[in-house]
Chain A
Amino acid sequence: MTIMKLLILMHVIGTVLGVGAATFAEIFYTRFNSDNIITDDERKTLSVTYTVMRTGLFLLVISGFGFLLYFRLTEHVGIFSSPSFWAKMTVVAVLVGNALLLQARIIPFLIGTAISLTSWYAALTLGVLGKISMSYFEILTYYAIAVVFVALALRWIRARLHGPAQAKI
């Protein structure tokens, strides 16, 4: 197996773990919190899901820098001027910053989870699409709009599961 294939494999596994864990973290949290009580078992399940998500992020970042090193050493540096590359780097930075803000309880949970879920899918989409004919700011504008839509969708889903009288988001 060549280094490039190994890096691609690592990158795909990281993305799969991250996107999958982010999706299930949201599903589990919404289901578990429908009675406004998170039991110890439910907390443990969420904790395992977040660990898988962090493992995915670690693999994604390490393999991502592996790609950059590979391109630097082989002098294929065109990727460094690609807007989608910088947009993806920004999205990953937002993911890390958002996790810190959530941990410090500085950001509302609904906004934090919407940013996390959207960022993982945005990283996946940008990775799959590769070169796209949009500027860096256009990509980030679409990303910001997606965050708002996801936040509204999550708010609606949680309100429905709780029932209007006891919705606590």
Chain B
Amino acid sequence: MTTALAALLITHVIAGIIAIGIHNVVLMHLLKKTPNYVFISRIAWSAVALLLLSWATSAYYYVTYYGTAVKPRILAGDMPFAHAFFMETKEHIFLLLPFVALSIALCASYLRAHPEDDGLRKSAALLTLVALLIGVATAISGMLVSGSI
């Protein structure tokens, strides 16, 4: 693996993990009685940016390196399901995540102007929980794929 590809993989993982952590913080704040929507919307938009960065770097890594150098080794190894199930699932579910994050950020921006909308706060909290669960499932799938080489 070249240094550039290693840097892309590192960026993909770290940006993704920080974005998942941010969604955790967003959810914690949305569960408060009087959330600070200025803070929530700022970090929610940061999560969108980080997920797009994670998305772009992983896409380049996947297309130029994973398919030709990593995937055949996993399929020939002891845990071919790591690619056949976990990577296949991860790469499709992960497509949703930046758009879910974008929806959360838009909700947070709306709530910043309309903090009295408690129904939206609850819906945004539920959506953030979904994003968090997808993020955690994606991270665990990534670990399984990395460990199956």
CA gap between A62 and B19 in the complex, in Å: 11
Contacts of B140 in A (CB 8 A): 89
Chain A nearest CB, measured from B24 CB (Å) = 6
Chain B nearest CB, measured from A1 CB (Å) = 18
> Is A73 within 8 A of B147, CB to CB?
no
Interface presence of A132 (CB below 8 A): no
CA gap between A65 and B9 in the complex, in Å: 12
| A:38-90 near B, CB below 8 Å | 58, 61-62, 65-66, 68-69, 72-73, 75, 77, 79-81, 89
Query: A73-B1, A73-B9 are known contacts. Are A58 and B21 too (CB-CB below 8 A)?
Result: yes
CA gap between A77 and B70 in the complex, in Å: 13
Instruction: Give the interface segment out of B25-33, B50-58, B104-112.
Output: B25-33
A contact face: mostly helix, strand, loop, or mixed: helix
> Is B31 within 8 A of A62, CB to CB?
no
Contacts of B10 in A (CB 8 A): 69, 73
Interface presence of B134 (CB below 8 A): no
B contact face: mostly helix, strand, loop, or mixed: helix
> Is B28 within 8 A of A80, CB to CB?
no
Count of residues in B whose CB is under 8 Å from the partner chain: 24
> Is A69 within 8 A of B27, CB to CB?
no
> Is A103 within 8 A of B31, CB to CB?
yes
> Is A62 within 8 A of B136, CB to CB?
no
Query: A69-B10, A73-B6 are known contacts. Are A103 and B146 too (CB-CB below 8 A)?
Result: no
CA gap between A68 and B139 in the complex, in Å: 11
Contacts of B14 in A (CB 8 A): 62, 65-66, 69
Residues on B lying within 8 angstroms of A by beta carbon are 1, 6, 9-10, 13-14, 17-18, 21, 24, 27-28, 31-32, 129, 136, 139-140, 143-144, 146-149
Given A89-B143, A100-B28, 17 more pairs with CB closer than 8 A: A58-B21, A61-B17, A62-B14, A68-B143, A69-B10, A69-B13, A75-B149, A77-B148, A77-B149, A80-B143, A80-B144, A80-B147, A80-B148, A93-B136, A96-B24, A100-B24, A103-B31
Closest 8 CB pairs of A and B: A80-B147, A72-B146, A103-B31, A104-B31, A103-B28, A65-B17, A77-B147, A73-B6
